[in-house]
Structure 1
């Protein structure tokens, strides 16, 4: 159910029957030449729609800007602060709580949002007792990705416009992928990037972290289906 297309006369009864709100959170940032700037928004939206179908939840309008400090200097990237993102999420969560929602699931499409989402969830834990708040980022994907990837990950945590994320897009939103422009770029990311502020232009000029040419719809479906199953369990159990 798309929350924004409901009307005020009918929505209260529907909330009473569902009580699950799903918020896609993405970002606008560089994703190479083969993926759009809004890749993280698109993935979060499409995944949220699939999740809502399985748990009978409402999909809220997407929060389309994220903390993209690392990529803020690439053409097209739009960065907001963690503090701004936290305040948005908390305000939305508290509004949902007042409307009668008992589950607030954030579906994240951008790793850089993770810190703000966790902090917002902690604040909502205090202000909205009884509302279950989840911050979800492809749960279980690491094991699943390791089973299908053909190239070694360029980083233990990061995946970006690469074999994995491009596969997600080929499965969830193939109309936005231009595989003719996919490249192989596996940068050497220094250990210091994990412990110091490091703009990504220090180690990549493309914002691609891997071999995007190896992406397939099948790989994307395999990982996404596992993540989706885990999301459903986390919400319903």
Structure 2
């Protein structure tokens, strides 16, 4: 159920029947020449639809901007500060709480947003004590990715416009991928990047962290379905 298409006369009863709201959270940033700037939005939206089908939840309109500090200087990137995101998410959560929702799920398509989502959830824990707040970023994906990837990751946390994320797109939004432009860029990410602010232009000119040409729909389907199963289980465990 897409929340924005409901009307005020009918929605109250539908909320009473569901009480679960899913918010796709994405970003606008560089993803190489083969993926669109809104890749994280499309992934969050389409994964949210799959989750909503399994949980009979409402899908809220996407929050389409995120914290993209590391890539803010690349053409097309639009950066939102963490504090701005936290305030926005808290306002949405508190509004949902007043409307009667009992579960607020944020489905994140961009790793850089995770700090803001966690902090917003902590604020809502205090202000909305009877509402469960969950923030997801592909739970269980690391093990699933290890099962299908052909090249090792360039970083123990980052994955971006690479074999893995491009595979996600080939499964969830294939019409938006141009594999003819998929390239290989395996940068050496300095160790200090984990301990001090480091703009990505310091180590990549493309914003691709790996071999995007190795991406396949089958790899994306395996990882996404693993994450989806974990999301559903976590939600059921928290009822």
User: TM (normalized to structure 1)?
Assistant: 1.00
Q: Distance in 2 between matches of 1:80 and 1:223?
A: 28
How many residues matched? 237
Deviations 1:107-126 (A, max 9, x none): 00000000000000000000
Q: Distance in 1 between matches of 2:26 and 2:50?
A: 16
Are 1:230 and 2:227 counterparts? no
Q: Distance in 2 between matches of 1:31 and 1:57?
A: 30
Q: Distance in 2 between matches of 1:214 and 1:77?
A: 25
How far apart are residue 182 of structure 1 and its match? 0.1
Match of 2:26 in 1: 26
Q: Distance in 1 between matches of 2:231 and 2:11?
A: 25
Match of 1:179 in 2: 179
Secondary structure, counterpart of 1:106 in structure 2: strand
Q: Distance in 2 between matches of 1:233 and 1:2?
A: 22
How far apart are residue 130 of structure 1 and its match? 1.2
Match of 2:119 in 1: 119
Match of 2:170 in 1: 170
Q: Distance in 2 between matches of 1:143 and 1:49?
A: 23
How far apart are residue 187 of structure 1 and its match? 0.4
Secondary structure, counterpart of 1:10 in structure 2: helix
Match of 2:109 in 1: 109
Q: Point out where structure 1 has 5 or more consecutive residues left out of the alignment.
A: none
Match of 1:65 in 2: 65
User: TM (normalized to structure 2)?
Assistant: 0.99
Runs of 4+ residues over 6 Å off in structure 1? none
How far apart are residue 234 of structure 1 and its match? 1.2
Alignment of 1:125-144 (within 5 A): 125-144=125-144
Q: Distance in 1 between matches of 2:155 and 2:130?
A: 38
Are 1:36 and 2:36 counterparts? yes
How far apart are residue 233 of structure 1 and its match? 0.9
Q: CA RMSD in A?
A: 0.3
Deviations 1:20-52 (A, max 9, x none): 000000000000000000000000000000000
How far apart are residue 236 of structure 1 and its match? 1.7
Match of 1:220 in 2: 220
Q: Point out where structure 2 has 5 or more consecutive residues left out of the alignment.
A: none
Q: Distance in 2 between matches of 1:121 and 1:186?
A: 35
Q: Distance in 1 between matches of 2:142 and 2:102?
A: 29
